[in-house]
Amino acid sequence: MCETTPEPTRPSQPPKPSRGPVIARVVVIALLATTALILGACSDKSPPVEEKRMLVIDGIEILFEDLRPYVEFIESYRPAVGEKTKNVWVMRDHVLPMFAARRAFGEERAVMLERANALCSVATNILELEQHSKLIEHKRRSNMTRINAKLPVAMFLFDELMTNAVSPPIELPQGYFVVGSYDLNTSPLIIADFVDALQVGFVTHTSKDWRVWWESEQLRIGAKVTFVHRDYRDDLPPWMTVPKDKKP
């Protein structure tokens, strides 16, 4: 009797893995990649840059930071005045004419500054200022309020710590002033405070000559406005012309 040789058994194949987990992992990876791209795009978007310029006229650039010290002083005694009004006031009456004078009379102003520094080197208090300025033509002693003094002059004179002291040369459109106060008289109404002040001027122009020059300069540069901050396009002095394409 012949023995039957059993056929060799074939090894069983392992079960095929389920495709579900693989698909899930692919979906998660894709979502993570998409999220990373979105976040990266968001991080590339910088916040809008704040405009630092208020005005550019005839190449003269006025920045808000040029106005800030004077505006802060005005706020100390005229808090009800609006921010835009203060900025325009400071630009129109002090900063713009001073910047224009720097450009037009640089050499003359350098001479005036040298003379003002010479006075400051020998006058360290109000009595010495009075003594050493006797032969100087442009000087005046008077009672002054914050409103009728030039802005940077008032900033020094109405600092209580500076009573009887002498200022460094204070720059103004007409040149430089060296000032001091004999006393500071306060009142319940801050705008009524006044000082007994001595002002010594080192100027390139008398008040009359300056007014003539500045009025002629306004006529020359009034139509040369090349930039105005969007919030100030309707608030410029009437002698300035905003180009039509710069208006809102």
Parallel, antiparallel or unpaired: strands 175-185 and 170-172:
antiparallel
Q: State pLDDT tens for residues 143-169.
A: 999 999 999 999 999 999 999 999 999
Confidence of residue 46 (pLDDT cuts 50, 70, 90): low
Say whether pLDDT at 32 is over 70.
Answer: no
Q: Where are the domains of the chain?
A: 51-105+206-248, 124-203
Instruction: Enter the tokens of residue 68.
Output: 């800030």
Q: At residue 11, does pLDDT exceed 50?
A: no
pLDDT at 22 over 80: no
Mean pLDDT taken over the chain: 87
Continuous segment of H or E residues that includes residue 182: strand 175-185
Task: Measure the CA–CA gap between 248 and 244, rounded to whole angstroms.
Answer: 9
| 211 pLDDT above the threshold of 90 | yes
Closest CA to 117 of 49, 45, 176, 196: 176
- Read off the pLDDT of each residue in 189-217 and give the average, rounded to a whole number: 97
Taking 70 as the threshold, does the pLDDT of residue 216 lie above it?
Answer: yes
Contact between 170 and 152 (Cβ < 8 Å): yes
| Alpha helix positions (H), the chain | 20-44, 64-77, 83-90, 96-104, 106-122, 126-132, 151-157, 207-221
Higher pLDDT, 87 or 8: 87
Q: Identify which of 168, 176, 178 has the alpha carbon closest to the alpha carbon of residue 109.
A: 176
Q: Name the β-bridge partners of 203.
A: 175
* C-alpha span between 101 and 211 (Å, rounded): 12
Residue 184's nearest CA partner among 148, 138, 143 is: 143
pTM, entire model = 0.79
The full length of the chain comes to 248
pLDDT at residue 65 greater than cutoff 90: yes
| pLDDT above 90 for 118 | yes
Structure tokens given for 42: 């968001």
DSSP 8-state assignment for residue 45? -
